[in-house]
Amino acid sequence: MEFLLYPNPINNLAAATADLIAERLRQRGHRCRFHPEGGAVPDMMIVVGGDGTVLRAVRDHPGGRFPVWAVNAGHVGYLTDVAASAATDALDAVLDGRVNIVNRMVLEGMLGGAEGPRPFFCLNEFTVHRAACLHSVQISLSVDRKDILHFTGDGVLVATPTGSTAYNLSLGGPVLLPDSDDLVITPICPHSAIGVPIVVPGHSRIRMAVNPYGKDSDDADAQPCLTADGALSFPLGPGDTVEASAGSWTVPFVHTRDESFYRRLRLRMMGGESDA
């Protein structure tokens, strides 16, 4: 088998763990290389780091063409399978095929505006938010061409089931089960009590329009932004639109343990300790 190793480059534990995994793979007769080395499409990508590293790895290798096994060398590690200290032992289960595959939904979207269409995708969520603006933004939201609400606030978040336990949760949005086919739309600091989270089917077409937002719109540093997975960011001008729905592909995550989602949520997100 051919493996692609993607460690966090500034994390010493991640680098050391990735080296141990590479050594074990070669001992068992497998081929491996480290990102960003080029080569054939791998049979699996092994990510070593925290959740941010997992999101970067998926962003750098989109399309769901191969499964992802994630080893936690970071903090929360919600998207990972095992701790770095258990990685070499768990690797035997991976190589022997004693794993479960969980396919994670992605969001695919298109930003439309004066600069032309710009595609984006995300595993967790995207936000349309005021960024450095000194005042709130006005957003019109529709689902499948039906107007849902027009409101003023700091922005709107759209999350996948995977992302429902991230920024969405901190905003008071609902948690979706990992195998759910739904999306959650959560307003960010709305000025009205009607700005409550909404759960919609994943195949729905979500559309947002940013309305004119004031005299500082000529200042690029003071423009609202579209941000995907907390990394990819586009400035938004008056009248720009964002359309998105569940993607045409999924990310297959490898799990060596049959861990309950509810246990993972409790341990990773609610202050408990985890052995992963």
Q: What are the residue numbers of the active site?
A: 51
Residue 225, Ramachandran bin (φ over 0: left; ψ between -120 and 50: alpha; else beta): beta
Cis peptide leading into residue 174 (ω within 30°): no
- Residue 159's alpha-carbon distances to 5, 120, 221, in angstroms, are 27, 14, 26
Instruction: Quote the crossing angle between the two packed helices 12-27 and 87-96, to the nearest 10°.
Output: 40
Amino acid at 51: D
Alpha helical stretches, state H, 97-176 = 167-170
Answer whether 61's CB lies under 8 Å from 36's CB: no
> 109: Cβ–Cβ under 8 A, 6 or more apart, which residues?
119, 120, 121, 122, 126, 228, 242, 243, 244, 245
- Residue 7's alpha-carbon distances to 21, 45, 82, 84, in angstroms, are 11, 10, 14, 11
- DSSP structural state of residue 190: -
Pairing of strands 182-188, 198-201: antiparallel
Radius of gyration over every alpha carbon of the chain, rounded to an integer in angstroms: 20
- Residue 125's alpha-carbon distances to 68, 164, 240, in angstroms, are 19, 8, 19
